[in-house]
Amino acid sequence: MALAVRFAIPLAMCVAGCASEPPQPFDTPVTVNYLDRIDDLEDGDDAILALGFRIGTWYTFNDATVGARQMPIATLFTTTPGGPSGTGYCVRTFGEGFAAWGSGIGLDLNDPGLAPPGMTDRAAYDASGFKGISFAAKGAGTLRFEVGTSAVETNVAGGTCLVGTANPSCGDNHGVNIPLTSEWKTYSVPFSKLTQEGFGLRVPFDRKKVVALYFGVPAGQPFDYWIDDVGFFK
């Protein structure tokens, strides 16, 4: 893949006309209606907004590589001041050292969190009334945005996927890769653009059985990225 080299252009030259920068993937503006917001994080807690019969929380996850670090840790998840507007709160995670498959931030769409230890009441959410997901992000490197569905999630995670002779692995979620920038950008990802990576059970994407949203980075990549203003668009 060829590397693009960007040179500074004096402002005076741009007055006469400059070509705009190539658009980032999925940066087409969309409208997220008030009731279709998943979380804007303005309340500063880990719970998503109680809208559209959705219930769930934010969390971090990783491959548990010995010696690696990720903040915030899963058991002490916290939000971070700031966001695209410079006010309120957002979600930030940073760290390094994960060597198996990586780490990330997630949120569930239908999990009241009332199950006893070792069990789950995580279930699917019907997102068939929407075309995709919009969110704001900034950071360095490439972000893997994924939508987990029942067919790909394991039984213990509220799904139906079982590892066996015909299925080498669960967790091959439908997603897209997005190169992040150091400034906040809003990305609008249609469900129709989501694809699996190919390491596990291959299934069609089922928007009627969405379990969770994941914002992850691969193994071997130090990371520091921010997420805010997550919502559905029609």
pLDDT by residue (tens digit) across 135-148? 999 999 999 999 99
* Beta strand spans in the chain (E): 37-39, 58-62, 69-71, 80-81, 89-96, 103-108, 132-139, 142-149, 174-179, 185-190, 210-217, 223-233
Averaged pLDDT score across all residues of the chain: 88
Q: How far is CA 159 from the centre of its chain?
A: 19
Lowest mean pLDDT among 15-19, 63-67, 84-88, 229-233: 15-19
The reported pLDDT for the residue numbered 22 is 53
Both tokens assigned to 209: 């059985």
The confidence band for 24, taking pLDDT boundaries of 50, 70 and 90, is low
CATH of domain 27-233: 2.60.120.430
pTM of the model: 0.88
Both tokens assigned to 174: 């439908």
The reported pLDDT for the residue numbered 90 is 97
**Whole-angstrom distance, CA of residue 112 vs CA of residue 115:** 8
Peptide bond into 179 cis (omega under 30): no
**Whole-angstrom distance, CA of residue 125 vs CA of residue 211:** 6
- The larger pLDDT score, comparing residue 10 to residue 78, is at 78
Mean pLDDT of 157-183: 90
Q: Most confidently modeled of 12-16, 119-123, 161-165, 173-177? A: 173-177
pLDDT tens-digit map of 106-134: 999 999 988 787 778 899 999 999 999 99
Lowest mean pLDDT among 27-31, 62-66, 124-128, 165-169: 165-169
Helix (H, G, I), strand (E, B) or coil at 64: coil
Using the predicted structure, report yes or no on whether residue 164 has a pLDDT greater than 60. Answer: yes
Domain residue ranges of the chain, discontinuous segments joined by +: 27-233
